[in-house]
Every structure is written in C-alpha cells, then in structure tokens.
C-alpha cells in the first residue's frame, strides 16, 4: 500500500526502515504520548521486533509515514473483534523534526479513508491523552468528532490521566 500526501507517503514498512525507525522513535517526547507498549528508550532491537511483527501482518494495518529518503513516523489501526468488528482504533506518531507541518493530519485523513474503503469499517476512533493538545488538533482537523472524556482512564508514568474519545464515521451512517 502506498498513499501520497504532498511530498510524503504512507506506505508499507520495509526491513530497511530499521535505522530510521530507531533514530526517530527513540525520543521521550514521542513516548510520553503513547501507550506503555511503545518502548522508551527505544532500542534497535525494538525496531527489529516491531518490523518483524508488521511485516508478517496479513492484512497489514500498520504503515510507515515517509519522505523520499526514510520513514519518519508510523500510523495504523487495529480492527475490533466480535461486535466491534466494524470499528478500529487508530494510533500514530511523527518524528519531532517534522512536527507542525500538517503531515500527520494528512496521514490520518488518508489512512482513515483507506480503512473505510478497503476494510469496510463503519467507525474509526482514537483515544489521545487529554493533555496531548497536538493530537487533539490533528483529530479535529482530520474530521474526527469529540465523543467524550474518559476520566481517570489511564496511568502513564505514575500519573492518572484522562483520555478523550474521538471518532469518525463512514459517510452515510
């Protein structure tokens, strides 16, 4: 899969992305806004482990955000199961040198459209930490709607945090 977004791409991960993944993912400013499953510090072995899993996914739902030279971030969605099988949770991160350029907003829009079209989903949602203002703005600009606040929903670095629930529905629902 490859989606063009201006001078950037959302594309399948490649084994050759390991050095860039390690270089950009090893950033506490990124890890602070992600779930604890995202290692911090991020080591080369973490990049290898992640890519080993992603390269075996069928169908693949985790993608690299890249420029012409290298991977600069990640975006993906995880489909629900059972009665939630037409919903998916989206997650993403972007390398710090590329923040503030609208790249992630365009990537969220592109992957959301792709997921609705190719996977027949009805709903895609994201649950950013309430204090992650940048992610909130991304979701708002990408057409997601705030559905609610999940009070005291997570513990990150020993601190109890609220999460916000944003969602976008497939057109026609």
Domain membership flag for residue 146:
no
Domain membership flag for residue 134:
no
Please report the pLDDT score of residue 172 as a whole number. 82
Q: How many domains does the chain have?
A: 1
Size of the chain in residues: 173
Structural domain for 28, as ranges = 2-122
Going by pLDDT thresholds of 50, 70 and 90, the confidence category of residue 42 is very high
pLDDT value at 173 more than 90: no
Q: Give me the CATH number covering residue 105.
A: 3.40.630.30
Domain membership flag for residue 112:
yes
Domain membership flag for residue 13:
yes
**Contact indicator for 78, 119 with CB cutoff of 8 Å:** no
Q: What angle do CA 13, 106, 11 make, to 5 degrees?
A: 15
Domain membership flag for residue 49:
yes
Domain membership flag for residue 68:
yes
**This prediction's pTM:** 0.95
Average pLDDT, the chain: 96
Domain membership flag for residue 142:
no
Domain membership flag for residue 140:
no
pLDDT digits (tens, 9 = 90+) for 137-165: 999 999 999 999 999 999 999 999 999 99
Q: Mean pLDDT over residues 98-109, rounded?
A: 97
Between CA 66 and CA 27 the distance in angstroms is: 17
């Amino acid at each position: 899969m490859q989606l063009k977004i201006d001078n950037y791409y959302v594309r399948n991960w490649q084994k050759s992305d390991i050095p860039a993944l390690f270089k950009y993912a090893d950033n506490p400013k990124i890890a602070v806004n992600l779930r604890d499953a995202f290692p911090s510090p991020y080591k080369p072995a973490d990049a290898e482990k992640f890519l080993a899993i992603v390269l075996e996914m069928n169908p693949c739902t985790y993608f690299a955000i890249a420029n012409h030279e290298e991977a600069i971030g990640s975006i993906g969605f995880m489909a629900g199961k059972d009665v939630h099988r037409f919903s998916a949770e989206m997650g993403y991160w972007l390398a710090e040198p590329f923040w503030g350029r609208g790249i992630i907003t365009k990537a969220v829009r592109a992957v959301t459209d792709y997921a609705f079209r190719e996977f027949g989903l009805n709903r895609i949602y994201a649950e950013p930490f309430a204090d992650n203002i940048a992610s909130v703005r991304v979701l708002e600009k990408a057409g997601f709607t705030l559905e609610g606040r999940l009070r005291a929903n997570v513990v990150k670095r020993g601190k109890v945090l609220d999460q916000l629930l944003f969602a976008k529905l497939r057109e026609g629902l």
